[in-house]
A and B are shown apart, each in its own frame.
Chain A
Amino acid sequence: MPVVMDADRIGRTLTRIAHEIVERNKGVEDLALVGIRTRGVHIARRLARSLKEITGDEVPTGALDITLYRDDLMRHAVGPQPLVRRTEILFSIDDRKVLLVDDVLYTGRTTRAALDALIDFGRPRSIQLVVLVDRGHRELPIKADYVGKNLPTSPEESIQVRLMESDGQDEVVLQ
């Protein structure tokens, strides 16, 4: 079970992404972070802290649960429904540049659901995609704007991102 990113590497990667965000957006004015539940939210909060350290400014941060937008929700005739958790976007996203944050980018279907959900909250000026790991195998025309690590994988493998907030430690594991 090879560890492809350890805690230190994850920390440095997120700091780097924060700098890229500031650079590309010429500051953090009008930016907002929206993390996709569960681990995207933790990463978004960490990025918000980094952005504050770099610029001194608070970037509003929200949490998005995309369960109700999943395209496989009603595909199975019977079976338990995925657990729905709370979406918390306590600010208007209208005319903001929204940074959508997730832990792993794979088929792109989660991102597609998240884009649909975000649009229901208003009309952002732009949406940029931030992921810690891009493992390839896209099924939809979606591309990340900020990538922590590109990790070529086979579909049989699985990537596990573990974070302090939910898993007690920081690491990315390939199985």
Chain B
Amino acid sequence: MTPAAITALRHKDLLGIADLAADEISLVLDTAEAMKEIGSRPIKKVPALRGKTIVNLFFEPSTRTRTSFEIAEKRLSADTLNIAISSSSVVKGETLADTALNLEAMNPDMIVLRHSSSGACHLLARICRSAIINAGDGMHEHPTQALLDAFTIRERKKRLAGLKVAIVGDLLHSRVLRSNIHLLTKMGAEVWVCGPPTLIPTEIRRFGVRATSVVEEAVRDADVIMLLRIQLERMEGAFFPSLREYFNVFGMTEKRLELASPDVMIMHPGPMNRGVEIASEVADGPYSVILDQVHNGVAVRMAVLYLLAGGSEHEAAA
């Protein structure tokens, strides 16, 4: 792997992949490679972020992402603080801006934010001096998920450019989709997105992707197939008639998989609905890298935390 040409990110925060340039993405992925080795040591901890305070501020329930961030933080020796606030208590309680100001008064170095509103971390970033890391905001972005997906693909395929990546599922409501589209197109992959027309965002082609509602077309010769979670409540919004019909039309089955490249990778950001977007045989089958994704999440988040802890080149120059 050629080393990244730059040594620092150009931003104080990680709000979305949309803000990153290709060389910044490469820097994160290269750094993550170094970080991954730490997880295989007998003592899985380095002193890099000793004395740094990181707040994990989660307004939405999340086991996987929060745990992954927390492990990453601890492996870098940061002091971590978990704050979980249910969205319902926010309705009665203080505003996000006030929460941010209160946290800021305690002088943390970084805030990892998960929130149900798109753009919530932009609001936080405007208020806070701390570096803000977006751990998923509404339907907007989930940048560390896209980075760990890219890391997993690159690890296996040794490249991103030129790969055909098919993303299938609920495109409309997915922050994972948006981050992945930005990342994969910036890195030169050929991205196909697929789902029922009711779940495809307006003007999706302007993102530089091919869109189809014929799953066979998306999957044909794909090097990577990424499945997105179908949320059961979407049925009531009349986005599709039934889970059974969704599975029949879009579900990833072994038969559909036969159309893909012989060394296809099957990915899913989790949590999975077996028998809805993915058949169990596929989820547990030889092509699945779903658990690798989870494993790599820690290294990628360590890389992001490490790179943002030093501040940006921009600030250093100023």
Count chain A residues whose beta carbon lies closer than 8 angstroms to a beta carbon of B. Answer: 25
Which residues of B263-318 are within 8 A (CB) of A? Answer: 303, 306-307, 309-313, 315-316
Knowing A74-B309, A88-B37, the reply to whether A80 touches B316 (Cβ < 8 A) is yes
Binds A, one of B49-57, B83-91, B251-259: B49-57
Q: Indicate if B7 sits at the interface (CB-CB under 8 A).
A: yes
Q: Is B43 an interface residue (CB 8 A)?
A: yes
How many residues does chain B have at the interface if contact means C-beta atoms less than 8 Å apart? Answer: 32
Instruction: Point out which of A67, A83, A119 has the most chain B C-beta atoms below 10 A from its C-beta.
Output: A83
Which residues does chain B contribute within 8 Å of A65, judged by CB atoms? 34
- A71 and B278 CA atoms in complex are apart in Å by 48
Q: A73 contacts the other chain (Cβ, under 8 Å)?
A: yes
What's the nearest-Cβ distance from chain A to residue B191, in Å? 29
A28 to chain B, nearest CB (A): 24
Task: Answer yes or no: A24 CB below 8 A from chain B CBs.
Answer: no
Pairwise interchain contact B48-A68, C-beta atoms closer than 8 A: yes
**What does DSSP make chain B's interface, helix, strand, loop or mixed?**
loop
Contact A120 B41 (CB under 8 A): yes
Q: Confirm or deny: A1 has a beta carbon within 8 angstroms of a beta carbon on chain B.
A: no
Interfacial chain B residues near A95, Cβ < 8 Å:
none
Q: Which residues of A contact B312 (CB under 8 A)?
A: 78, 80
B46 touches A122 (CB 8 A): no
B49 to chain A, nearest CB (A): 7
Contact of B34 with A87 in the complex, beta carbons under 8 Å: yes
**From residue 128 to 147 of chain B, which have CB atoms closer than 8 A to chain A?**
none
Q: How far is the CA of A76 from the CA of B312 in the complex (A)?
A: 12
Q: Which residues of A are found within 8 Å of B303, using beta-carbon distances? A: 84
User: Is there an interface contact between B35 and A79, defined as CB atoms closer than 8 Å?
Assistant: no
**With an 8 A cutoff between CB atoms, is A141 at the interface?**
no
Q: Is the CB of B310 within 8 A of A79?
A: yes
In the complex the two chains form, is B311's CB within 8 Å of A78's CB? yes
B27-77 contacts to A (CB < 8 Å):
31, 33-35, 37-38, 41-43, 45-52, 76
- Mark each residue of chain A from 13 to 38: 1 if its CB lies under 8 Å from any CB of chain B, else 0: 00000000000000000000000000
Among the listed B7, B45, B51, B76, which residue makes an inter-chain contact with A83, where contact means beta carbons less than 8 Å apart? B7
| Chain A proximity of B7: nearest CB distance (Å) | 5
A86-B307 contact in complex given A69-B47, A74-B50, A122-B42, C-beta closer than 8 Å = no
1/0 contact trace for A43-85 toward B, CB 8 Å? 0000000000000000000000101110001101111111111
- B96 contacts A by Cβ under 8 Å: no
Q: Chain A residues with Cβ under 8 A from B310's Cβ?
A: 73-74, 76, 78-81
Cross-interface CB contact of A73 among B34, B38, B48, cutoff 8 Å: B48
Evaluate whether A86 and B51 lie within 8 angstroms (CB atoms) in the complex, with A74-B309, A120-B42, A121-B42 already known: no
Q: Is B8 an interface residue (CB 8 A)?
A: yes
B48 touches A80 (CB 8 A): no
User: Residues of A contacting B43 with CB < 8 Å?
Assistant: 119-121
**Interchain CB contact (< 8 A) of A78 among B3, B37, B52, B316:** B316
Residue of A nearest to B52 (CB): A74
The smallest beta-carbon distance between A91 and chain B, in angstroms, is: 13
Given known contacts A69-B47, A121-B41, A84 and B313 CB-to-CB distance under 8 angstroms = no
Q: Which residues of B contact A85 (CB under 8 A)?
A: 34
Give the docked Cα–Cα distance between A74 and B316 (Å). Answer: 13
- Given the complex of chains A and B, what is the CA–CA distance between A80 and B45 in angstroms? 22
C-beta contact mask, A101-122 vs B, less than 8 Å → 1, else 0? Answer: 0000000000000001101111
B316 touches A79 (CB 8 A): yes
Give the contacting residue for B31; candidates A74, A84, A122; CB below 8 A.
A84
27 A-B residue pairs with Cβ-Cβ distance under 8 Å, sorted by A, are A65-B34, A68-B46, A68-B47, A68-B306, A73-B310, A74-B52, A74-B309, A78-B312, A78-B316, A79-B310, A79-B311, A80-B7, A80-B8, A80-B313, A81-B8, A81-B306, A81-B310, A83-B3, A83-B4, A84-B31, A84-B306, A86-B34, A87-B38, A88-B37, A120-B42, A121-B42, A121-B43
Since A87-B34, A121-B43 are in contact, a sample of 16 more A-B pairs with Cβ atoms closer than 8 Å, ordered by chain A residue number, is: A68-B47, A68-B48, A69-B46, A73-B48, A74-B48, A78-B311, A78-B315, A79-B315, A80-B310, A80-B311, A83-B31, A85-B34, A86-B33, A87-B38, A119-B43, A120-B45
In the A-B complex, the 3 residue pairs with the smallest Cβ-Cβ separation, listed nearest first, are A78-B311, A80-B8, A81-B310
